[in-house]
Amino acid sequence: MRVLGLDPGLRRTGWGVIEIDGAKLRFIAAGCIAAEVQETLAPRLAELHNAVMAITDQFTPDEVAIEETFVNVNPASTLKLGQARAAALLAPALRGLPVAEYSPTQVKKSVTGSGSAGKEQVQGMIATLLPGFRGMGGPDAADALATAICHAHHGATAARWAAALLRS
């Protein structure tokens, strides 16, 4: 199964693609969508949406995992981040892809064992877990790959639960 992980942001959206084969994870690609800061909100959201559409077309994921909005002390920033998330969510939805959402704490805990891990820790663990990843796209891409790995762990557990329920 191929999973696209997304770490949405209004200025920088990280993305990463992995393949899951049982307990094995394989790095496929990663990068960062950087919006033009001079643009107003609407063109930046359109740029983000179009880039995620192109990534889904190029890498043909089976599922998508996205990080939930981190609630900020500044309500305006949180709202804008939510709009970026919506632009990113729309692309896989239009392709009919299932989308799973995970909190930042769940994502960090899945790859580092600590829900309060820093970006450097996450990036280091991604390099260990996915040897093909060499830091391209920086911490935003690493966070997106962490989201995909989080989905790999949670998706496998959900599949085992579903299979157990079918047997009973």
Residues with catalytic roles: 7, 67, 140
The structure tokens listed for 30 are 């990663």
CA 71 distance to own-chain centroid: 17
Q: What is the maximum alpha-carbon separation in the chain?
A: 58
What CA–CA distance (Å, rounded) separates 66 from 86?
Answer: 11
Q: What is the DSSP letter of 138?
A: H
- Give, in order, the Cα–Cα distances in Å from 8 to each of 14, 156, 159: 6, 24, 26
Cα dist from 148 to 56, 63, 74, 110, whole Å: 14, 9, 28, 10
Strands 63-67 and 99-102: parallel
